[in-house]
């Protein structure tokens, strides 16, 4: 490489950026920082743009790993020199760095972490325009096979969380497809990464994550059965926070979009997962009331078998299931014996909340043959309750 080919860099700076010794590349970066400060002081944007192109293309995307490392440290030096003005060039600074995260050389990936950290530390909120790309990279780095790379990514991850937390405008809608995809990873580090981000986003006052909960709830419950106790605890804490938010303000909650997810997980052999799902169903029934009637067959499919539990480890599950069963039974009233039952909801919109009796009868019939006396007794009580409250419909269904 000759200095002429890479102006405004001097030939000595080019050689140093290509050197395999870190200290020499660092010295070259200091020269670049001084150069950019001079360009900035004289408002020589043409030279700044030219330098960004040289470092971003000729260096950061070079076939030589040492040259790529030189490009990464050089790009960070430009950002440091520009200070707040780096926000004018975030795309040119960040895109070459992001490309280096796919490098086969772990040292290049590590230096990419360092470079993006230094750029983001200076540019702050300006980097959020590229956040979905950064998030996608971070999620992969969290599971990187190289420990040094994972360590570097943790520092970058913490900085990005700080930037998101302090930001007044964050594109949560744009992030959700990435979050929804990554939440199904089976990798321990990736799951830890996802849970930590869900927790951070939920804690930001200006971010309303509850409205997007149906998109990630299934993934969260899957993480809850992770064999790693620390991840279980993290996920349990996040789910408890969401449930507290739901109880505090049920008006924003899409109960109907989440109840089937809970019904599925309430039939899990994993005790923590089952108890958590049944607990959520209990709260959903209490908070949304008759809106749960169309899901009666699913809810009873989840609840009735739990009434048979007689071990100490599953006592909480049984008691919670009994509470769900008791509350849900009271929702079926004489009004359900009519063709439909209409209620007025927010916005003067009329919504039908009708009991699907044939499906409910199928579930009750099936569980009438259950081995547990407690389950059979509950089924008989249900049949009696239905006969008393909706005799006309019962006679046509049984």
CATH code, domain carrying 65: 1.25.10.10
- Least Cα distance to 261 among 242, 281, 241 occurs for 281
What distance in Å separates the CA atoms of residue 122 and residue 87, rounded to the nearest whole number? 9
Share of the chain above pLDDT 70, in %: 95
Q: Is the pLDDT of residue 348 over 60?
A: no
Question: Residue 128 domain-assigned?
Answer: yes
Confidence band for 396, pLDDT divided at 50, 70 and 90:
confident
Instruction: State pLDDT tens for residues 86-119.
Output: 999 999 999 999 999 999 999 999 999 999 999 9
pLDDT score for 169: 80
pTM: 0.90
Q: Are 83 and 115 in contact (CB under 8 A)?
A: no
pLDDT score for 352: 55
Q: Is the pLDDT of residue 38 over 80?
A: yes
The 3-class secondary structure across 346-365, one letter per residue, is CCCEEEECCCCHHHHHHHHH
pLDDT score for 69: 98
Q: What are phi and psi of 98, to 5 degrees?
A: -60, -35
Confidence band for 127, pLDDT divided at 50, 70 and 90:
very high
DSSP per position, 51-78: HHHIIIIIITT-SSHHHHHHHHHHHHHH
Q: Is the pLDDT of residue 71 over 90?
A: yes
Residue the block writes with tokens 């992030």: 175
Instruction: State pLDDT tens for residues 247-263.
Output: 999 999 999 999 999 99
Question: Residue 297 domain-assigned?
Answer: no
pLDDT score for 346: 45
Question: Residue 149 domain-assigned?
Answer: yes
CB neighbours of 110 closer than 8 A, spacing ≥ 6? 146, 148, 149, 152
- Least Cα distance to 113 among 78, 148, 145 occurs for 148
Question: Residue 59 domain-assigned?
Answer: yes
Domain that holds residue 17: 1-167
Structure tokens, 371: 């081995």
Instruction: State pLDDT tens for residues 214-224.
Output: 999 999 999 99
Question: Residue 111 domain-assigned?
Answer: yes
Confidence band for 360, pLDDT divided at 50, 70 and 90:
very high
Instruction: Estimate to the nearest angstrom the gap between the alpha carbon of 30 and the chain centroid.
Output: 39
pLDDT score for 398: 65
Helices (H) and strands (E) in the chain, counts: 19, 2
Q: Is the pLDDT of residue 340 over 90?
A: no
Question: Residue 224 domain-assigned?
Answer: no
Question: Residue 31 domain-assigned?
Answer: yes
What distance in Å separates the CA atoms of residue 391 and residue 398, rounded to the nearest whole number? 10
Instruction: State pLDDT tens for residues 281-329.
Output: 999 999 999 999 999 999 999 999 999 999 999 999 999 999 999 999 9
Q: Is the pLDDT of residue 163 over 90?
A: yes
What's the rounded mean pLDDT across residues 44-66? 97
Question: Residue 312 domain-assigned?
Answer: no
Residue 58: Cβ within 10 Å count: 17
Structure tokens, 189: 């580090």
What distance in Å separates the CA atoms of residue 360 and residue 362, rounded to the nearest whole number? 5
Structure tokens, 193: 């990464």
pLDDT score for 395: 86
pLDDT score for 347: 43
- Least Cα distance to 234 among 270, 272, 192, 276 occurs for 192
What distance in Å separates the CA atoms of residue 42 and residue 116, rounded to the nearest whole number? 26
Count of domains observed in the chain: 1
Which residue would you say has higher pLDDT here, 234 or 353? 234
Q: What is the DSSP letter of 227?
A: S
Confidence band for 337, pLDDT divided at 50, 70 and 90:
confident
Burial of 250 (0-12, 13-18, 19+ CB in 10 A): middle
């Amino acid at each position: 490489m000759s200095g002429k080919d890479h102006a405004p860099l001097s030939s000595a700076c080019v050689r140093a950026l290509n050197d395999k010794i870190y200290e020499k590349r660092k010295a070259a970066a200091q020269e670049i920082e001084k150069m950019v400060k001079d360009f900035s002081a004289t408002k020589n944007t043409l030279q700044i743009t030219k330098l960004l192109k040289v470092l971003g293309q000729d260096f950061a995307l070079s076939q030589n790993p040492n040259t790529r490392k030189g490009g990464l440290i050089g790009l960070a030096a430009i950002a440091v020199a520009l200070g707040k003005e780096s926000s004018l060039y975030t795309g040119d600074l960040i895109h070459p760095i992001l490309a280096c995260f796919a490098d086969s050389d772990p040292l290049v990936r590590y230096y990419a972490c360092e470079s993006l950290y230094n750029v983001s530390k200076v540019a702050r909120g300006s980097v959020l325009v590229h956040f979905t790309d950064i998030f996608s990279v971070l999620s992969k780095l969290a599971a990187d096979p190289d420990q040094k790379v994972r360590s570097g990514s943790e520092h970058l991850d913490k900085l990005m969380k700080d930037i998101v937390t302090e930001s007044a405008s964050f594109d949560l809608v744009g992030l959700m497809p990435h979050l929804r995809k990554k939440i199904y990873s089976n990798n321990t580090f990736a799951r830890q990464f996802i849970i930590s981000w869900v927790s951070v986003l939920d804690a930001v006052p200006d971010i309303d994550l509850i409205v997007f909960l149906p998109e990630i709830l299934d993934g969260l419950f899957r993480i809850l059965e992770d064999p790693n106790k620390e991840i279980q605890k993290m996920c349990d804490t996040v789910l408890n926070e969401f449930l507290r938010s739901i109880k505090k303000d049920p008006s924003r909650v899409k109960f109907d979009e989440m109840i089937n997810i809970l019904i599925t997980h309430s039939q899990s052999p994993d005790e923590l997962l089952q108890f958590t799902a049944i607990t959520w169903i209990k709260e959903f029934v209490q908070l949304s009331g008759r809106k749960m009637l169309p899901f009666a067959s699913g809810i009873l499919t989840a609840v009735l078998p739990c009434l048979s539990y007689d071990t100490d480890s599953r006592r909480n599950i049984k008691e919670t299931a009994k509470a769900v069963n008791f509350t849900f039974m009271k929702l079926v009233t004489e009004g359900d014996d009519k063709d439909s039952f209409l209620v007025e909801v927010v916005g003067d919109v009329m919504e039908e909340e009708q009991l699907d009796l044939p499906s409910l009868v199928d579930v009750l019939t099936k569980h009438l043959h259950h081995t547990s006396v407690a389950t059979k007794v509950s089924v008989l009580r249900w049949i009696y309750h239905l006969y008393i409250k909706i005799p006309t419909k019962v006679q046509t269904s049984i």
